Amino acid sequence: MEINAKGIYYRDLNKMIREAVAGGERSFVLRNINGQRYIGDGIEGKVKMDLYGTPGQDMAAFMKGPEIVVHGNAQDGVGNTMDDGKITITGMAGDIVGYGMRGGRIYIQGDVGYRVGIHMKAYKDKIPAIVIGGKAGDFLGEYMAGGVIILLGMFGEDRNGRPAAGDFLGTGMHGGAIYVRGGVDEHMLGKGLKPEEATPEDMKTIRPYLKEFCQVFGLDLNGILDGSFSKIAPATHRPYGNMYAY
Amino acid sequence: MLYYDQNKNYRDFEVLRDENKCIQCQVCVRQCSYEVHTYDEKHDEVTADQTKCVGCHRCEAFCPTDALKIRKNQSEFRDNALWTPQYLKNIYKQADTGGVLLTGMGNSYPYPVYWDKMLLDASQVTNPSIDPLREPMELRTYLGAKPDAVEVHGGNGHPRLDTSFAPQIPIEYPILFSAMSYGSINLNIHVGLARAAEEMGTLYNTGEGGLHPTLYQYGKNTIVQCASGRFGVHTDYLNAGVAVEIKIGQGAKPGIGGHLPGEKIGPEISLTRMIPEGTDALSPAPHHDIYSIEDLRQLIYALKEATDYKKLVFVKIAAVHNSAAIASGMVRAGADVISLDGFRGGTGAAPTMIRDNVGVPIELALASVDERLRQEGIRNRASLVVAGGIRCSADVVKAIALGADAVYIATAALIAVGCTVCQRCYTGKCPWGIATNDPYLAKRINPEIAHEKLANLIRGWGHEIQEMLGGMGLNALESLRGNREKLRGVGLNETELNILGIKHAGA
């Protein structure tokens, strides 16, 4: 199903999509997307959407299963509390990507904003992952409870050589792992965290994500694997366990 | 100075055992999860380590020979109006540990209870009171946004409604069970709450710990919660109930998040919250996707889109100094129901300083929020559910007269199933089997009996509400809603009367 979204109010557009999905439609091409919010929210099952333009806030929130390809940039809240599925963004994304994300994968070729991957969590084999080709703002992976964040710092806009990660990376982190290509200075990390060189075992863990990242954006995997990777893992699963007087 | 825990002997309670009555049956030994009582086989004697007693009265309640009494420790410090024993003991404890003081349940300080300073009206001579035993008495309430105006066409006995309504939830009693998460309490209590809500035609709230698979069947009576930790939040969960509540804050601990300690995350809690066993369940203080009213609107509509506009969205805040302005923003952001939680609201765990020193009494917050929304002409656009220290049906009636559509109860509900408000919920060892997920202790709650007791509480309060309404000459709760003429203050100053919007008794 192809929709020219020009001038369509978000509520009408999303209703159209929901009704089409309920009617069995599995493939969408949305053209001239210009800031419409909540695209793909709560949609379940094997649905594929190609979005041309710039989708609005909270795209794919609470989404369970679909695959969304954004040919362009996305705004804030991509994959908010997302349950399952795959999001590919050829450009940049805004703040709070993957907040409280529980499963699925998000691939962003360019930079992302602040507070990305806050409180991602994992349960058994349900492990969410975010791969960022560019750089990230502050508070990446704050309160992280599970899952994988990979920050490459390679394909975004070079802003006077600023580091790939922002400050307060992984503050309050108590699960999951963050990988930063090219390393990260310890002073940028949340309290108690230390960057360590990724082991061959770690590289084995992240390789499938990197491979898919390269596949969707047509990039060279070896060019990425060339560099060194730092791993930031929680110091404890109980960061505030000793805070209280019983 | 002492080199061991100074509080050890400055204990809060004494266990008095009448040796003449004690038959060494050891019921107390088995009942006390704090291991106060021990049996000495050699001397055939039950003894007590009083330092461990939290004053929950479980042993006293179960002693078959009435041999046990729990009293406050009679040992007294020299009188000092400033340095009361509580402050001394807290300082000793913090000097030993360097930790934050923790507590459970609601604010325990003697701040004014405004419910007790308001009196209800009744009819005499000039307007007849109504007898609820022979007249129908309407307690049903519809939660949800109401239109600004209702348009009808086609008279002649066949009027048709032109206005389309936002989804409404009918409740048969203006009393809902407030949010308590699976984790802070156990599944037996959740089952009891769900079944009681189903039987009585009202709602219970899952809290932020997700929804256990066995509870989906009570969806028509369920509010699911979406809090900052987003535990167990997925599309099936969001669509499981009749409403989704965005929890911004909680009366017992406004402005701070929650830490469910890792030792409480067993296999079932892990499954429902969808986090690994043994990991702390941390709910950040704010939702990190909500830093403004505009952001709140974004989450409200993300939830509405994800549930196809079929579910109501509640937004819960703690009553704080500027609740009225915040509530106005919440209504404009699209909340269907505002849940307002006063500073006496309970909790499974909160820092003592926050619980006892932050927030606003619900009576005042309710009056100012209702008044502000009326002034702005948007009161109809959201229902108002209030919480935080509702103890009896008279509190409910007064809340409704002040402008609430319904109330939330949680502490009262737990008391109905045995809680003695000992305020040690955070230990996870609740001897009453309520605030614990220890299977041995949780078994002490039988979901069927919990269901019956909770339904009885609502039933009893419902009768009393009907009596009070009838006494005022009203036959529908709707006629009382926001009808502050039915309230009078006693012992309140001008400012308090103004905020409450009521006259003094006698006027």
The pLDDT tens digits of the residues spanning B101-124 come to: 999 999 999 999 999 999 999 999
Contact B302 A142 (CB under 8 A): no
What's the gap in Å between the CA of A166 and the closest CA on chain B? Answer: 17
What's the gap in Å between the CA of B163 and the closest CA on chain A? Answer: 20
Domain with A37 in it: 2-232
Q: Does residue B297 sit at the A interface (CB-CB below 8 Å)?
A: no
Residues facing A50 on adjacent strands: A29, A69
Q: Lowest-pLDDT range, A60-74, B273-287, B396-410, B412-426?
A: B273-287
Residue of A nearest to B295 (CA): A57
How much is the pLDDT for B241? 98
Residue of B nearest to A234 (CA): B279
Give the model's confidence band at B264: pLDDT under 50 very low, under 70 low, under 90 confident, else very high. confident
Cβ contacts of A83 on chain B, cutoff 8 Å: 234-235
Cβ contacts of A102 on chain B, cutoff 8 Å: 230, 233-234, 274
The pLDDT tens digits of the residues spanning B272-298 come to: 988 888 888 888 899 999 999 999 999
Q: What is the pLDDT averaged over residues B125-151?
A: 94
Q: Which of B228, B235, B289 minimises the CB distance to A83?
A: B235
How much is the pLDDT for B3? 78
DSSP B9-54: TS-SEEEEE-TTT-----HHHHH-TT--EEEETTTTEEEE-GGG--
What's the gap in Å between the CA of B350 and the closest CA on chain A? Answer: 10
Contact A238 B274 (CB under 8 A): no
Cβ contacts of A143 on chain B, cutoff 8 Å: 282, 284, 288
Q: Does residue B448 sit at the A interface (CB-CB below 8 Å)?
A: no
Q: Does residue B267 sit at the A interface (CB-CB below 8 Å)?
A: no
Query: Residue A244 domain-assigned?
Result: no
Query: Residue A243 domain-assigned?
Result: no
**Is it the case that residue A240 has pLDDT exceeding 80?**
no
The pLDDT tens digits of the residues spanning A8-30 come to: 999 999 999 999 999 999 999 99
Residues facing B312 on adjacent strands: B243
DSSP A35-91: S---TTTT-BSS-EEEEEEE--TTTTTT-EEEEEEEES---TTTTTT--EEEEEESS
How much is the pLDDT for B400? 98
Contact A42 B305 (CB under 8 A): yes
> Structural domains in chain B?
6-99 (3.30.70.20), 141-145+173-481 (3.20.20.70)
Structure tokens at B373: 């929304």
Give the model's confidence band at B156: pLDDT under 50 very low, under 70 low, under 90 confident, else very high. confident
Residues facing B315 on adjacent strands: B246, B338
Q: Does residue A96 sit at the B interface (CB-CB below 8 Å)?
A: yes
Cβ contacts of A97 on chain B, cutoff 8 Å: none
Q: Does residue B93 sit at the A interface (CB-CB below 8 Å)?
A: yes
How large a percentage of chain A has pLDDT more than 70? 99
CA distance A137 to A133: 13
Query: Residue A228 domain-assigned?
Result: yes
Q: Does residue B162 sit at the A interface (CB-CB below 8 Å)?
A: no
Q: DSSP label at B163?
A: S
B308, amino acid identity: D
Q: What is the pLDDT averaged over residues A44-49?
A: 97
The pLDDT tens digits of the residues spanning A116-149 come to: 999 999 999 999 999 999 999 999 999 999 999 9
DSSP A83-124: -EEEEEESS---SSTTTT--SSEEEESS---SSTTTT---BT
**Is it the case that residue A245 has pLDDT exceeding 90?**
no
Distances in Å between the Cα of B16 and the Cα atoms of A166, B35, B281, B478 are 61, 16, 39, 51
The pLDDT tens digits of the residues spanning B6-36 come to: 888 899 999 999 999 999 999 999 999 999 9
**Is it the case that residue A213 has pLDDT exceeding 80?**
yes
Q: Tell me which of A80 and A158 has the higher pLDDT.
A: A80
When the pLDDT of each residue in chain B is averaged and rounded to a whole number, the result is: 95
**Is it the case that residue A241 has pLDDT exceeding 80?**
no
Contact B102 A121 (CB under 8 A): no
Across B389-496, the runs of DSSP E, i.e. the strands, are 406-409, 487-489
Query: Residue A246 domain-assigned?
Result: no
Q: Tell me which of A62 and A162 has the higher pLDDT.
A: A62
Q: Does residue B353 sit at the A interface (CB-CB below 8 Å)?
A: no
How much is the pLDDT for A46? 96
Cβ contacts of B100 on chain A, cutoff 8 Å: 243-245
Segment 102-141 of chain A within 8 Å of chain B by CB: 102, 115, 118-119, 121-123, 126, 139
Query: Residue A127 domain-assigned?
Result: yes
Q: What is the pLDDT averaged over residues B414-430?
A: 96
CA distance B328 to B71: 48
CA distance A15 to A25: 13
What's the gap in Å between the CA of B314 and the closest CA on chain A? Answer: 18
Q: Lowest-pLDDT range, B70-79, B149-158, B204-213, B466-475?
A: B149-158
How large a percentage of chain A has pLDDT more than 90? 90
How much is the pLDDT for A1? 95
Query: What's chain A's length in residues?
Result: 246
Q: What is the pLDDT averaged over residues A189-217?
A: 96
Give the model's confidence band at A158: pLDDT under 50 very low, under 70 low, under 90 confident, else very high. confident
What's the gap in Å between the CA of A180 and the closest CA on chain B? Answer: 23
Are A39 and A17 a contacting pair, CB within 8 Å?
Answer: yes
Are A118 and A142 a contacting pair, CB within 8 Å?
Answer: yes
Contact B280 A174 (CB under 8 A): yes
Query: Residue A242 domain-assigned?
Result: no
Query: Residue A164 domain-assigned?
Result: yes
Distances in Å between the Cα of B387 and the Cα atoms of B54, B390, B396, B408 are 27, 7, 10, 5
Contact B100 A61 (CB under 8 A): no
How large a percentage of chain B has pLDDT more than 70? 100
Cβ contacts of B233 on chain A, cutoff 8 Å: 62, 81, 100, 102
Residues facing B384 on adjacent strands: B338
Contact B298 A64 (CB under 8 A): no
How much is the pLDDT for A192? 87
Contact B284 A237 (CB under 8 A): no
How much is the pLDDT for B212? 95
Q: What is the C-alpha radius of gyration for chain A, rounded to an integer number of angstroms?
A: 18
Cβ contacts of A11 on chain B, cutoff 8 Å: 305
How much is the pLDDT for A239? 77
Q: Provide the CATH number for the domain around residue A205.
A: 2.160.20.60
**Is it the case that residue A179 has pLDDT exceeding 80?**
yes
How much is the pLDDT for B418? 97
Q: Does residue B89 sit at the A interface (CB-CB below 8 Å)?
A: no
Residues facing A132 on adjacent strands: A108, A151
Distances in Å between the Cα of A132 and the Cα atoms of A85, A107, A179, B53, B306 are 17, 6, 10, 54, 26
CA distance B280 to A119: 12
**Is it the case that residue B259 has pLDDT exceeding 90?**
no
Q: Does residue A227 sit at the B interface (CB-CB below 8 Å)?
A: no
Residue of A nearest to B239 (CA): A42
How much is the pLDDT for B313? 98
Tell me how many residue pairs between chain A and chain B have CB atoms under 8 A apart.
Answer: 143
Q: Does residue B99 sit at the A interface (CB-CB below 8 Å)?
A: yes
- When divided into structural domains, chain A yields a total of 1
Q: Does residue B286 sit at the A interface (CB-CB below 8 Å)?
A: no
How much is the pLDDT for B461? 98
Q: What is the pLDDT averaged over residues A50-59?
A: 98
Q: Does residue B210 sit at the A interface (CB-CB below 8 Å)?
A: no
What's the gap in Å between the CA of A221 and the closest CA on chain B? Answer: 32
When the pLDDT of each residue in chain A is averaged and rounded to a whole number, the result is: 95
CA distance B375 to B476: 24
Segment 168-187 of chain A within 8 Å of chain B by CB: 172, 174-175
Q: Does residue A98 sit at the B interface (CB-CB below 8 Å)?
A: no
Query: Residue A240 domain-assigned?
Result: no
Cβ contacts of A168 on chain B, cutoff 8 Å: none
How much is the pLDDT for A160? 73
Are A28 and A48 a contacting pair, CB within 8 Å?
Answer: yes
Residue of B nearest to A117 (CA): B288
Q: Which of A44, A80, A245 minimises the CB distance to B101?
A: A245
Q: Does residue B10 sit at the A interface (CB-CB below 8 Å)?
A: no
